Structure 1
Amino acid sequence: MSVQKKHVIIVGAGIVGVSTAIWLQRDGHDVTLVDKVGPAGGTSYGNAGLLASASIVPVTAPGLLKKVPKMLFNPDQPLFLRWSYLPKLMPFLFKYLAHANAEDAKRISDALYDIVGDSVADHQALAAGTGAERWIVPQEYVFAYSDKAAYDGDAFGWSIRRDRGFVCEELDEAALRAQEPALSGDFRYGVRIPNHGRITDPGAYVKALAAHVVAEGGRIVEAEVNDIVRENGRATGVRAGGETISGDAVVVALGAWSGKLCKQLGLEVPLESERGYHLEFWEPSVMPKTPVMITTGKFLLTPMEGRLRAAGVVEFGGLEAPPSEAPFALLRKAVRKAVPGLTFKEETTWMGHRPATTDSIPVIGEAPGVPGAFLGFGHQHVGLTGGPKTGRILAQLIGGKTPNMDLTRYSPSRFGA
């Protein structure tokens, strides 16, 4: 069956947008990527670099409601809030916290699993022949706990992972020490999950994928999109930087910034930024063998090219405020405690925006009432992990194909008009 060739305009050149572009090109379509700062300018650069197939347990797990007040008022906890932002945050927060129960958590985990469960294979398929393959490293993923009691406290999450078929190898103190000798003696229990992976330089990886898009005839426009053009109700282009770029379909993949364009499409998506932070330690004296989740501080240590990245923390403060110093200070303190022998040449910092929906499930699909407008955002903590699968789904939908999965869970219409 011949494919009707389309010109698709993709707004956002992070991992979701670039993945969509590559899969569209492989199906015979033309693409234009439009992004204010170019490829990998946001969260696709600064994420933890983990291909986190087992990260299917939402933040809104049972018991969260009891933990939030303590976390907010304890400076050693990895949850921060800009209090001046609280009035604007409250409507989102009420809906978000309403999902902090076992039934919803299991439903959310099912939806996430179908997007991230085969992440390494999805990335390998995406990157094949692009030159970006060299940044993909398949390997295990380790959780480090202070003791077995702390691990037992996360029993709900581990049961969800095991139910989904993940192998979770428990490590006693000796086994954890053998696995990750750089860690402090404060960690006496752990879990090792095979069949994960990491990207050794997320920014370079996504830029290499974008360069492949250009090499295959795609176009990249560095401009801010301020409007979606419609003709007879159908999305046919965008206005960006004083230019109208016309096409046959439009994809909105702007992460935490997607809400404004959704409103122009008549869609109110409850979307917030879970501001995330990272520190990078260049030329470190010691390095974990694998990505390690430091459960006491809820942050990830990931070995990267030439540096060690510590990424994590959640701050609610919107898209406009500058980075806060307290999350950086907490990360520094936690890294010193977790890896006491660490010395390094230079430290660099970053803050970015994870796009979170109230139900912790990404938005993937065609906008209701606006044919030709497709949405792909809201992956919260698993954007890099789920980007290739999301891009492939969007490319299939745009090409008139029916993906072999239940897409109603990700439907943009689930929030109402």
Structure 2
Amino acid sequence: MPTAASSPKNEITIVGAGIVGLATAFHLLAEGHRVRLVERGGVAEGASFGNAGAFAFSDILPLASPGMLRKAPKWLIDPLGPLTIPPRYLPQITPWLVRFWRASLPDRYRASLTAQGGLMRFAATATQAMVAQADLAGHIRADGNLQLYESEAELAAAQPGWEARAREGIEFEHVRGERLAELQPGLSPRFVAGTFTPHWQTVSDPYHYALALFRAVMARGAGLVHGEVTGVEADSRGVRLRLADGQVLNAGRVVIAGGAWSRPLARSLGDFIPLETERGYNTTLPPGAFDLRRQLTFGGHGFVVTPLSTGIRVGGAVELGGLKAPPNFRRADAMLTKAARFLPGLRTEGGRQWMGFRPSLPDSLPVIGRSTASPAAFYAFGHGHLGLTQSAATGKLIADLVAGRRPPIPLEPFRPDRF
């Protein structure tokens, strides 16, 4: 395994060993590159550890949307609701919110929707290929997703989004009555309709899936360095990474895939990228806490319930509160309380709570591309809720850029300098 002292300067160093960094390593290794991962914490112990575990290829609607702007004022009133901004953080996040508002304007929303749709189509293909090559199929469930509505008016309000998905060729079925009960027995009668997306997939457990990919990456010859990268410098000879413990790592090229911690690293290269942090919460209940047939989405309340091999995960919501504030697990409690009302019979004892940081950009699209400062530096971060879903696609796109190949989808919407 290469070490900090012996790593050759033509090696590609990836900052971040979460799911995006691991998928990028997998694709670069497949093309014969030397690859080294640098991770500030444990492998896949950030957002890759406790996410909702979905390959959400049909989730093409950007969070920055006219619909979100209509919902936001009502949600923000409730400090434990689907969207909250702690008052102390508001001055810091205001510039990001202005960009979010601009991205929600109709013409920009349509452009983001088109870009997201193209990335998702490619992600479905790239994920299928990586799962086969890395022998990950045993971690995949193909039960579909059921989105639930408490009124016909709520379903009608969601209709433009489903029409947009239909234009992308995404299959779905609006259901009621016996068909709704068949797809998920034991629902509260408050839910009068649902939309079933049959090709939606989940993983057995996102952490276990990421660790399996990590093992595949290490078996193919990757190196791993534990340390926090505090700065990146580039010149004609390659790149230098400065670590918090004083080490300096040299490499021919670098990929910044550090999730919510990527912004200062891009800034050290001279690129300002308005990355923010969505703090997400969940509770994972023991296996058998409910007869859950598939992932359920309670869109009006901003959370999902997912069947995992390790239990039943209740989580979601958005707290725009930065990286430094302590967790507010009352948000996890609030979602669990609602889940118990929505799924009578759900046993809520014995749960494990978690909070993680989703790296989010104002237009709901990730940054995938070269740094403006150096052709030796690449960015692969900002996927928001969709890091697992888009990880294989991002890794393949970075491999194409490193090789100088034309990527299979336009990367203009994902440019680092688009802001």
With the shorter chain as reference, the TM-score category is over 0.9
**Displacement of 1:83 after TM fit?**
0.7
Partner residue of 1:412?
A: 416
Partner residue of 2:242?
A: 239
Partner residue of 2:302?
A: 298
**Displacement of 1:243 after TM fit?**
2.3
Query: CA 1:399 to 1:38, structure 2 compared with 1: closer, same or farther past 3 Å?
Result: farther
Partner residue of 1:132?
A: 136
**Displacement of 1:298 after TM fit?**
1.6
SS in 2 for 1:98: helix
Letter in 2 for 1:178: E
2:209 to 205, 208, 220: 205
Q: Distance in 2 between matches of 1:21 and 1:408?
A: 23
Q: Distance in 2 between matches of 1:101 and 1:159?
A: 19
1:26 to 26, 30, 54: 30
Partner residue of 1:216?
A: 220
Q: Is the 8 A contact 2:78 2:84 kept in 1?
A: no
Unaligned segments of structure 1, at least 5 residues: none
Q: Distance in 2 between matches of 1:202 and 1:84?
A: 32
Q: Distance in 2 between matches of 1:79 and 1:146?
A: 19
1:270 to 271, 274, 294: 274
Residue 168 (1) aligns with residue 161 (2) = no
Residues 270-300 of structure 1: CA deviation (Å, up to 9, x unaligned): 1110111111001233232111111231211
Correspondences of 1:314-333 after superposition (within 5 Å): 314-333=318-337
- The number of residue pairs the alignment matches comes to 410
Letter in 1 for 2:95: P
**Displacement of 1:131 after TM fit?**
4.1
Q: Is the 8 A contact 2:280 2:357 kept in 1?
A: yes
Q: Distance in 1 between matches of 2:30 and 2:138?
A: 21
Q: Is the 8 A contact 1:237 1:249 kept in 2?
A: no
SS in 1 for 2:22: helix
Partner residue of 2:407?
A: 403
Partner residue of 2:145?
A: 141
Q: Is the 8 A contact 2:336 2:348 kept in 1?
A: no
**Displacement of 1:344 after TM fit?**
5.3
Unaligned segments of structure 2, at least 5 residues: 1-8
TM-score (norm 2): 0.94
Q: Is the 8 A contact 2:289 2:312 kept in 1?
A: no
Query: CA 1:192 to 1:329, structure 2 compared with 1: closer, same or farther past 3 Å?
Result: same
TM-score (norm 1): 0.94
Residue 99 (1) aligns with residue 103 (2) = yes
Q: Distance in 2 between matches of 1:302 and 1:159?
A: 25
**Displacement of 1:345 after TM fit?**
5.4
Partner residue of 1:255?
A: 259
Partner residue of 2:311?
A: 307
Partner residue of 2:39?
A: 35
Q: Distance in 2 between matches of 1:63 and 1:178?
A: 30
Query: CA 1:65 to 1:127, structure 2 compared with 1: closer, same or farther past 3 Å?
Result: closer
Give the aligned CA root-mean-square deviation in angstroms.
1.7
Q: Is the 8 A contact 1:290 1:302 kept in 2?
A: yes
Letter in 2 for 1:272: E
Q: Is the 8 A contact 1:283 1:344 kept in 2?
A: no
SS in 2 for 1:55: coil
Q: Distance in 2 between matches of 1:12 and 1:255?
A: 7
Which has the larger displacement, 7-16 or 397-406? 397-406
Q: Distance in 1 between matches of 2:126 and 2:198?
A: 16
**Displacement of 1:251 after TM fit?**
0.2
Residues 374-414 of structure 1: CA deviation (Å, up to 9, x unaligned): 00011111111001100110011112222122111101121
Letter in 2 for 1:239: R
Q: Is the 8 A contact 1:284 1:345 kept in 2?
A: no
Q: Distance in 1 between matches of 2:155 and 2:15?
A: 41
Q: Distance in 2 between matches of 1:27 and 1:392?
A: 10
Q: Distance in 2 between matches of 1:305 and 1:312?
A: 19
Query: CA 1:177 to 1:118, structure 2 compared with 1: closer, same or farther past 3 Å?
Result: farther
Q: Give the share of equivalent positions with the same residue, in percent.
A: 34
Residue 82 (1) aligns with residue 83 (2) = no
Q: Distance in 2 between matches of 1:219 and 1:303?
A: 33
**Displacement of 1:118 after TM fit?**
5.0
Query: CA 1:130 to 1:404, structure 2 compared with 1: closer, same or farther past 3 Å?
Result: closer
Partner residue of 1:281?
A: 285
Q: Is the 8 A contact 1:228 1:235 kept in 2?
A: no
1:58 to 59, 62, 77: 62
**Displacement of 1:318 after TM fit?**
0.6
Q: Is the 8 A contact 2:233 2:268 kept in 1?
A: no
